[in-house]
Amino acid sequence: MGGFIYRLLGGAGLVLIVIGGIVYGIYYTSGWPAIVPLALGLVLTIGAFAGGYRSERSEGSRRTVRYGLGAGLSIVAAAAILIFLQTMAYRHSSTIDLTSNRRFSLSPQTVKLLDALETPVHLTGFYKETSQDRVVLQDLLESYSARNPVVTYIFIDPDREPVIARNYGITRTGILFVESGQAREQLEGPGEQQLTNAIVRVTSGSVKTVYFLTGHGEKSTHETGPHGISGMMEALKMENFEVRDLSAISAERIPEECNILIAAGPEKDIIKHEQNLILDYLTSGGRALFLLDPMTEVTNIEGILAAYGILLGDDVIVDRQGKLLAGNYLTPVVNNYGDHPITDGFRHFTFFPQARSVIALADTPPSLEVTVLGRTNEGAYSETNMSTLLEGQTQFEASEDGKGPIDIAVASAMGFSADSVSTVIESRVVVFGDSDFAGNSNLRLSGNRDLLLNTVLWLTEAEDMIAIRPTDDLQQPVLLTATQGRFVFWIPVVALPALVLLAGTFVLMWRRRTVR
């Protein structure tokens, strides 16, 4: 009878140990819901083995109990080691991201922000405890907090903490508040990009203003179609910029709050009055970005650029590599960048549908620093005969056309002496020989968006935020040369099926010969 009771206690102890292990595995915690069953099960199991050992009289039975006790203790020791290792791994975790675009790692922009962040930031998420979105967001927030402890976070279930939810004005779950000092941002289902930009907004304390020049056929920030730049406007807002339109034709001056003036693909030239306004704005330390398409005569804008050591080419860039992406030769592909803060560490391809060359003048005064940002590959050239180009008969003519690599973007910085001799202000200008790369249909293509936003940040002297942004939706096509393209076609499409067919034919002939 005593042996039966001890066996019953031993079985109950093992069941409790299993229950404690399951609770630990489900809730991933070493709290009392897991500790109590584990401890009680361990006591019952050891007690059952000890009592059974005493109750047994024969040496063989006692030996069996000793073996069983040893096996039980080994299992408990192994479980304890596994729990210890799991706890250490949880508290000191490390991951390796092997994806091509590092989509499961914090982006360089986020890392740069967190490394420089000194102001405390608190994140409050209102999610149900059983929500899968909470699990995903918690992994992201833990990455931020692990990178810099000034970022703290907490999750609140509105059903269990209704008073706190009411104080925040919460009417639904899935909301994250980003707070720093008196500043607060509300996000709904945020990803890394939204969260990083929200932290920038609550810690920066100021909003910069971008004005888009209008009245000359420029691309519209309000147009959501493929030819509009509403996506560019939204990207700027995400970077904590306020976006406004500006009609300078009737203005007396460029607004003082204008941090950057952007001319995005004007179809007509500005008038002399506007040219004077822009020159006055720039010589007062202003910043400007010009996105200028080919086959557009903009003489007054060229006059502004000449003062900054920049010359526009009267041509269209032809790049055979562009056919692999756009189906034509008029989309230059750029992966050769200059030594400049905008392109420092930049490794993505950028694409410029129908672009002109932008030339950095060599003979410039010491106060002017002109740098080429990007150029095409050597196989591209600049076509100067527009009639030939329109007829589709373009080909490189050494006597007329420019041989690649062709410069497509240039940045210029000019220093000015202010009223005080010891004070120097700097004006900055960047020119791209294309505006379509910033359009809605091309902005998110490979590195286009990052290059554009890096340019805007450099213009506003926010170089510390220049980096590659989160790449969850990155479109990164595989670029192949003509030879590589033929190889990819012939090997898997022709050669491999042919080998299978030949092997099948050989096997069939061999079997027939064997049967005979």
pLDDT in tens, 90-100: 556 566 655 55
Note down the domain range covering 40. Answer: 2-91
Residue at 129 is within a domain: yes
**Residues 115, 63 share a domain:** no
Closest to 231 in 3D by CA, of 395, 464, 437, 446: 437
201 assigned to some structural domain: no
| Beta strand 358-360 pairing with 424-432 | unpaired
| Residue 106, pLDDT score | 84
70 and 156 both lie in a single domain: no
Per-residue pLDDT tens over the stretch 441-481:
999 888 999 999 999 999 998 766 666 565 544 445 555 55
Of 37, 59, 91, which closes a domain? 91
Residue whose entry in the numeric block shows the structure tokens 């401890």? 39
Q: Is the dihedral of CA 281, 283, 289, 290 positive or negative?
A: positive
Q: Are residues 353 and 498 in the same domain?
A: no
Task: Write out pLDDT tens, residues 113-123.
Answer: 899 889 999 99
Instruction: Tell me if 389 is assigned to some domain.
Output: yes
pLDDT of the residue at 407: 96
pLDDT tens, the chain, 516 aa long: 455 676 676 667 767 777 776 666 555 455 666 667 777 777 777 676 666 655 655 555 556 656 666 666 676 677 667 666 766 665 565 666 555 555 567 887 788 889 988 999 999 999 998 888 898 899 899 999 999 999 999 999 998 898 898 888 888 899 999 999 888 888 988 888 789 888 888 887 778 899 999 999 999 999 999 999 999 999 998 888 999 999 999 899 999 999 999 999 999 999 999 999 999 999 999 999 999 999 999 999 999 999 999 999 999 999 887 776 666 789 999 999 999 999 988 888 999 999 999 999 988 888 899 999 999 998 899 999 888 777 777 888 888 889 989 999 999 999 876 655 556 789 999 999 999 999 999 998 889 999 999 999 999 987 666 665 655 444 455 555 556 666 677 778 777 887 888 888 778 778 777 766
Residues 131 and 74 in one domain: no
Q: Are residues 249 and 120 in the same domain?
A: no
Is the bond leading into 266 cis (omega within 30 degrees of zero)? no
Residue 189 in domain: yes
Residues 38 and 150 reside in one and the same domain? no
Question: Kind of pairing, strands 358-360 and 333-337?
Answer: unpaired
User: Does 478 fall in a domain?
Assistant: no
Task: From 140, 163, 193, give the residue that closes a domain.
Answer: 193
- Residue 288 has what pLDDT? 97
| 501 and 378 together in one domain | no
Q: What is the dihedral of CA 274, 278, 281, 286, to 10 degrees?
A: 150
pLDDT at 347: 85
Note whether residue 461 is domain-resident: yes
Separation of alpha carbons 235 and 212, rounded Å: 14
pLDDT reported for residue 271? 96
pLDDT of the residue at 493: 77
pLDDT for the residue 153: 95
Q: What is the pLDDT of residue 423?
A: 62
Same domain, 298 and 333: yes
Same domain, 315 and 175: no
Task: Give CA separation, 138 vs 106, 142, 262, 309, 480, in Å.
Answer: 14, 6, 39, 50, 40
Residue 370 sits in a domain of what CATH number? 3.40.50.880
Q: How many domains does the chain divide into?
A: 4
Rounded distance, CA 352 to CA 166, Å? 50
In a shared domain, residues 252 and 128 = no
In a domain, 459, yes or no: yes
Residues 396 and 326 both lie in one domain: yes
Residue 443: its H or E element = none
Among 407, 406, 404, 409, residue whose Cα is nearest residue 451: 409
Q: Are residues 296 and 356 in the same domain?
A: yes
In this structure, which amino acid lies at residue 160?
A: R
